Amino acid sequence: MSRIQQIAPEAATGTAKELLDAVKAKLGLVPNMTRAMANSPAALQGYLGLSGALGKGSLSAKNREQIALAVGEANQCDYCLAAHSAIGKMVGLTPDQILDSRRGTAIEPRSDAVIRFARKVVNERGLVSDADIAEVRAAGLDDGGIAEVVANVALNIFTNYFNHVAATDIDFPKAEALVDHHEVCATIPGCDETR
């Protein structure tokens, strides 16, 4: 059960109502996360503003969703994993691409570099190495692309943490649990991970 009230769009007033109406116009629905954020129009406006600005950047919608899935998995945010699995499908990610993103990888080399760099930013709290920067540059990202990866990571950390604090009711199909081959193999006597 949510710990922060989720404001119904029809009950909202002022700036909160304007923002929730804009969300509904864009998505066709008003997700529970934005309903909870509407308690602070400043927080909701900040989220929508950064999200909207990044949507006009150089990273593709698929890459932005892959980052959201990688960050959501790293932060164990069930709400964001459910939301971005659904949105990922809407922008053309396959079920395998969604699962790979959550695992912090991708088959396509540029996407793999973007996702792995995003996870490094999360895991190292931004203290990435020169080699990490060189690797993502070698995959084709310029300084602007690198800045956008960091901004997308920050946006998703905000939503992950917000949903943890709010205990937001999940209003998307739940994301399936990941099965880590290494963890499963460790529980099976004689399992050979190299096969």
Cα separation, 188 vs 13, in Å, equals: 57
Residues of the chain with pLDDT under 50: 194-195
Query: For residue 9, what is the DSSP state?
Result: G
* Placement of tokens 């570099």 in the chain: 113
The pLDDT of residue 122: 97
What's the pTM? Answer: 0.89
What are 139's two structure tokens?
């995959």
Q: For residue range 65-118, what is the model confidence (pLDDT) as tens digits?
A: 999 999 999 999 999 999 999 999 999 999 999 999 999 999 999 999 999 999
For residue 180, give every residue at least 6 positions away whose Cβ sits within 8 Å of its Cβ, in sequence order, or none: none
Work out the burial of residue 54: count CB atoms within 10 Å of its CB; fewer than 13 is exposed, 13-18 middle, 19 or more buried: middle
Considering the domain 62-161 in this protein, what is its CATH number? 1.20.1290.10
Whether 3 and 36 have beta carbons less than 8 Å apart is answered as no
Under 8 Å between Cβ of 30 and 23: yes
Say how far apart CA 38 and CA 30 lie, in whole Å.
11
Q: Give the residue extent of every domain in the chain.
A: 12-56, 62-161
